[in-house]
Each structure stands twice: as C-alpha cells, then as structure tokens.
Amino acid sequence: MSTLVTRDGTALYYKDWGSGQPVLFSHGWPLDADMWDSQMEFLASRGYRAIAYDRRGFGRSSQPWDGYDYDTLADDIAQLIEHLDLQQVTLVGFSMGGGDVSRYIGRFGTERVAGLVLLGSVTPMLGQRADHPDGVEDSVFEDIKAGVRNDRAQFISDFATPFYGLNKGQHVSDGVKAHTLHMALLGSIHATLECVTAFSQTDFRPDLAKVDVPTLIIHGDADQVVPFDITGKQAAEQIREAQLKVYSGAPHGFAVTHAQQLNHDLLAFLSR
C-alpha cells in the first residue's frame, strides 16, 4: 500500500491513479478514499492524475487517539501534497472533506492550488451558534454520537436512508449500502465520534475568505444531512465568483446517485 507517515507518526493511506493535472479528493464522514472510485477512474482515464487518501482514523490509515481537529487534518493534506510534490492541484472535498480542503487553503494558501470543488460540503458552518442561528442544533449531533456509541453498525446502516435519499425516491443497490457500511466500520469509533464534533462546530468562514482560485460548489437541494441553505448556498455567496450547481432532488450522497452527472461536471471544471 502507498502510505505517508506524517510528522506526528500517523500513517496515511493514499491511492494515486493516472498522470497529468492532479486532482486530490478528501472524503466524507464516516467513509474513506474508496467513495471516490467512480470519479477517480473517470478522470484518470481522461488524462488526469487522481489522488485520494484515507483521513487519519479511517480506512487503511492508522488510528491515533489525537488529531481530529481541522488544523491537524489540513496539516495532513499539506504533508501529502508536499510528499507527492503536487503543483496546480485541484482540491475536491465532500461533506466533512470540504472542511479539510478549505482549512488547507486557510492555513497554507493557494500557491500549489489551481481550483477548489466543494461537494455537499459542511462549509461555511454546519452547527448552530450565536452568530449562525440557522445552523443545525447541537442535539442533532449529540444524537448521532449516541447512535454511534450504542450500536455503530446499525446506526450507519440506518443512516444510509437519509444519506442516499432512500426516503425521498432515490435508489441505490444493496451492494452500495453494504459497501458504505464496510467503509464506515473500517474507521475507529473514537475517530468517528471526534469528527462529529469537528464538522459540527468548526467555523470555516475565515477560510473561505481566503479562497482566490476558481471554485465549483455542487449541492443537492434534497440534502437531509448537510442542508443546502446553510452550507452550499452560503458558501457560494462567500467565495468570490464561485460557480454554483444545484442538483435537483439530489441527496447528500449524490456522488453515487448522480455519479455520471458529477463526473462530467468535474471534467468540465477541470478542462475549463
């Protein structure tokens, strides 16, 4: 396996397919790099270098006790970019991963970055606070953590329904649901819990203010996990000249339910 050992001793697994202009993918909670297989194969077959990694604590990466704050997660990305000597890379983040790539820009700038893509992202802020009253209430995230602690396998299995919009007319195969559960259970329960705190409480507004590269934002208007009105819509307003695409009827997991539409939109953005 291809791994990078970070400065704090964490082993990060990554896959690196194809050659050409690099595209780096950051996955959502509680998945791993394999969620990107459709997008990576599509782009690598068309002359791009597609790279995806397992966030610390998830997939095939090691499971340290600490480091699940977004500053550390962005530092992990920076070390991977340096390790692979990526130049003019397009950063693609889904859900929690949108926070990873945004915080990377907030901490390290865009010297190595050609573009940013936020897909169903938790940016600019998901949770509720005094200056963000429309955010999701803390009780929702406490319920998620309780479900993970009590019966993680069943909770994640049930989570597929809102994630893929199965209660809103969408359909995915039993194989997709099994694969989703498999990816989720490879992660440590501690990392799974800690990341709920991170993606629900972190404010990415200062990071988005530093974005000065072409940006594509895609969000489903039927997202039951990361509501569009408080995330994708606001991110598009805060990032200068961002391009916003709203997928009608799409759930949070549109990388699966709308895979071909997403693949072609990514290709169009990269080849602009």
Residue range 132-143: mean pLDDT, rounded: 96
Taking the C-alpha atoms of residue 183 and residue 199, their distance in angstroms, rounded to an integer, is 19
Q: Which CATH class is domain 2-270?
A: alpha beta
- Among residues 102, 223, 258, 265, which one is catalytic? 223
Q: How far apart are the first and last CA of the chain?
A: 33
| Angle between the N-to-C axes of helices 70-83 and 96-108, in degrees from 0 to 180, rounded to the nearest 10 | 70
Q: Pseudo-torsion of CA 230, 70, 189, 161, nearest 10°?
A: 20
Average pLDDT across the chain, whole number: 98
CA distance 217 to 126: 16
Amino acid at 85: D
Residue 27 bears catalytic tag: no
Read off the pLDDT of each residue in 99-103 and give the average, rounded to a whole number. Answer: 98
| DSSP per-residue letters across 38-86 | HHHHHHHTTTEEEEEEPPTTSTTS---SS--SHHHHHHHHHHHHHHTT-
Q: Which two tokens stand for residue 202?
A: 């972190």
Identify the active-site residue in 95, 102, 121, 188. 95
What confidence score (pLDDT) does residue 1 get?
75
In the predicted structure, residue 130 carries a pLDDT above the cut 80: yes
Catalytic residue among 27, 219, 252, 258: 252
Told to judge if 252 belongs to the known catalytic residues of this protein, a careful annotator would answer yes
| Token duo for residue 89 | 């890379």
pTM of full prediction above 0.95: yes
Structure confidence at residue 259 (pLDDT):
98
Is 95 an active-site residue?
yes
What is the DSSP-derived secondary structure letter of residue 177? H
